[in-house]
Amino acid sequence: MFNKDEVRTRFAPSPTGYMHVGNLRTALYAYLIAKSKGGKFILRIEDTDQERYVEGAVDIIYKTLKDTGLIWDEGPDIGGPVGPYIQSQRRDIYKKYAEELVERGGAYYCFCTKERLEEMRRIHEASGMPNKYDGHCRHLSKEEVNELLAKGVPYVIRQKIPETGETTFHDEVFGDITAPNETLDDNILIKTDGLPTYNFANVIDDHLMGITHVVRGIEYLSSTPKYNLLYEAFGWEIPTYIHCPPVMKDATQKLSKRNGDASYEDLINKGYLTEAVLNYIALLGWSPGGEREIYTLPEMVKVFDISGISKSPAIFDNNKLDWINGEYIRAMSLEKFHEIALPWIKKGVKSETDTKLIAEVLQPRCVKLSDIPEQLDFIDKLPDYSADLYVSKKMKTNYQNSLSSLKEAKAVLEKLTDWTRDNIHEALFGLAASLQVKNGIVLWPVRVALSGKQFTPGGAVEIAVMLGRDESLSRIDKGIELLKKVQ
């Protein structure tokens, strides 16, 4: 068994095939609540809805949690004292508890046919009423039930919601919530095929697994009165509820799978770092208080408190994610950055080049890794560009002085036998000094000639190193030709 005094939280995903940002945030908060109180974090797979089963989906859950460091203490793969941790392997348990609930008066057998239910639905719809079960089988006597069961008439087991009164529960984020019982439906707990519905299995498992804090998305808030009534009917202790606010794309739209920006994988594919994504997701609806926003997972464990969770919808802010990602990039060693940027650098540059230098140039400015290939697209091939790029008000460059700078630059660079960063730097800065002009008068045109672009990662010196001697001189020649035509 588990230790009854410890805090136990769970992440209970349904295997849908991808990890929605909101779900990952739920997992993170559940993990933080457990770990900040020295408790246990449990992984349970909720796969009762076999029609929605997606091949490989459980592996995505494992991988995402492992990548982000949300390591579970008990779960399907590692077991634990209250397993199995996959609902499809717990069928008999649910059936047994449903029958017990019938005995206790909290549930009843329902033998209504599909046709009857369909007819009822039509009538409700036509009269604009909510489609609630009408309680037809609620008052069958024990004898009537036994007779029908003996005949083998198909049945479901429904929850017996009190007909009057109201149900109140407390949520740590949303406060006290009350629902009149007459608005709650006698939902199915066990289906005709003997399998539990999601709502029933969830409550049974949370109780049997000793979950003290139920952390989940706000979409479950309206079902919670029914869960509460189940706990009461069994005489079980009610857990602490923590419902998390929705994650929105903007003021009106939820972040959805369809937009291709809702899942953890989408963000990683876009070139965000795992640590940055986790840090950003933590702040979607939780505030540690104060100005500080950069927190690693162990740091979050230290400061996390449920009272910091907000009930207002959290709007996904790409700019903020960019900023956090940049902070993590800046904070890592050059070696590490080079290692993670390398696949992206190779996407942008096929020719032989000094990738370490490129990484060094990119690191201070890089927002996300996926921006890298486009930033380097000029290396393999000089793009066609307009001579207007040579004209910069800020640098005080024009066609004429650019042309003469390129000619002078070519002369000093040609003399270099050793094509190193230091030598190129000295040659170009030395040239500006000897001509008694501002550095930009030389460096701007050289950078344009080398890249054919207005914005580049790194300046003229770094780009010359990236391109190598021959390519650099040939591009300066092309620049000279272009400028000659427009004089």
Binding site for ligand GLU (CB under 6 A): 12-14, 46, 202, 216, 220
Crossing angle of helices 460-467 and 421-435, in 10° steps, is: 140
Catalytic residue check, 142: no
Please count the other Cβ atoms lying within 10 Å of the Cβ belonging to residue 398.
15
- Provide the minimum distance between the beta carbon of 202 and ligand GLU in the complex, in angstroms, as a whole number: 5
- Provide the minimum distance between the beta carbon of 95 and ligand GLU in the complex, in angstroms, as a whole number: 20
Structure-token pair, residue 141:
């006597």
Structure-token pair, residue 330:
């800046």
Is 139 annotated to bind a ligand? Reply is yes
Give the whole-angstrom CA distance, residue 205 versus residue 13. Answer: 13
Give the whole-angstrom CA distance, residue 90 versus residue 265. Answer: 30
- Provide the minimum distance between the beta carbon of 462 and ligand GLU in the complex, in angstroms, as a whole number: 48
Is 244 annotated to bind a ligand? Reply is no
Closest to ligand GLU by CB, 49 vs 360, is 49
3-state helix, strand, coil in the chain (%, to 5): 50, 10, 35
Closest residue to ligand GLU: CB criterion: 216
Closest to ligand GLU by CB, 202 vs 325, is 202
User: Cβ(446)–Cβ(459) under 8 Å?
Assistant: no
- Provide the minimum distance between the beta carbon of 39 and ligand GLU in the complex, in angstroms, as a whole number: 17
- Provide the minimum distance between the beta carbon of 33 and ligand GLU in the complex, in angstroms, as a whole number: 13
In a 3-state reduction of DSSP, which class is residue 445? helix
Closest to ligand GLU by CB, 12 vs 161, is 12
Partnered with residue 86 across adjacent β-strands are: 45
Which H or E element spans position 171?
Answer: strand 166-171
Beta 213-217 vs 240-244: how paired, if at all?
A: parallel
Is 110 annotated to bind a ligand? Reply is yes
Give the whole-angstrom CA distance, residue 480 versus residue 404. Answer: 9
Is 366 annotated to bind a ligand? Reply is no
Closest to ligand GLU by CB, 111 vs 220, is 220
Closest to ligand GLU by CB, 29 vs 97, is 29
In a 3-state reduction of DSSP, which class is residue 263? strand
Q: Of the listed 40, 63, 66, 257, which one is catalytic?
A: 257
Catalytic residue numbers, as ranges:
257
Q: Which residues are annotated as a binding site for Zn(2+)?
A: 110, 112, 137, 139
Binding-site residues, in ranges, read 110, 112, 137, 139, 257
Q: Binding site membership for ATP: which residues?
A: 257
